[in-house]
Amino acid sequence: MANCIRCGRQLPGLSFGRKVCQWCVQHDAAQRGEVVDDARQPVMRTPWVRRGESTISLTQIFFGINVAVYLGMVLASGSPFQEFPGMELVRWGANAGALTLSGEWWRLLTCVFIHGGLLHIAFNMWCLWDLGALSESLYGRWTFGALYLICGVGASLASITWNVHVLSVGASGAIFGLAGALIAAFKLGEFSVPREALSGTLRSLVVFVGFNLVFGVASRVTDNAAHIGGLVTGLILGALMAVFAPRQEHAPRRVLIFFVMILALAGGASSLAHHYGLPLRLRRVNLGQASDFPQPGVDPTLLSRRL
């Protein structure tokens, strides 16, 4: 997090070359007699007071949604310590290629808040709590929220692109997106703290990504395509924001960056549907059949799971 080296006030996220806040700049100018006596000093909150800010972060809200969905699935199935069966995951909104491509595109997002078992959600929520808090403090609430959701969709789309015959659930794709955005930010952004102070965090992020990708290759139930899709989406968004919209006041540029990425993902979804001979449409599909899906033997009730 970038802070003023004089007073400690928080600087805008990814502040390029700005080591001193606006308040201290004008205060120093006033001390040197370079401004008139009645010039207005900018009002900036002191670094130790946070007035008017919600005590609940968006990271905590996402965490709560994931836990609430998991508890709902436990109450519905009665199996708190066992993995949920495939049909249960489908009912709650898992990313199933035959259903998603046939019109249930909302599964690209709903699957991000669904987990297959206790260990699955425990590990993902541990990662979300740490990386989410770091990302939200760096980017701000709304940017972090858009980044998380878009990376989740990018991960889900990569999953069904790589293997359309599997179920995919979990927040790990979106979490990899946060890691990718943070890596791009620490690599391309400029902060008021020495670069050496960021190197440790950057190394930890790279190790986290590398270890989990290697583990995903060795595991038979890990959806590594979703991890890579989320990571690439996050790297692209993080790099674009670091170069073109590093500060909080660059909100319109960030909106444009997110809009372009959403269009790119929509184009990818359209191309994927066209590849299977399906029109791009939004509709509900019966669980027992996906008759418009051209692949033989694809039954959404019997798809393999990949968590």
CA 282 to each of CA 8, 166, 237: distance values in angstroms, whole numbers, following the listed order: 50, 21, 27
Q: What is the DSSP letter of 285?
A: -
CA-to-CA distance for 63 and 175, rounded, in angstroms?
12
For residue 178, which of 130, 225, 118 has the smallest C-alpha distance?
130
Length of the chain: 307
Q: Which H or E run contains 306?
A: strand 304-306
Query: What phi-psi label fits residue 140: left (phi over 0), alpha (psi between -120 and 50 degrees) or beta?
Result: left
Q: Mind telling me the catalytic residues?
A: 172, 227
CA-to-CA distance for 141 and 139, rounded, in angstroms?
7
Answer yes or no: are the C-beta atoms of 44 and 9 closer than 8 Å.
yes
Answer yes or no: are the C-beta atoms of 251 and 146 closer than 8 Å.
no
| 3-class SS of residue 42 | coil
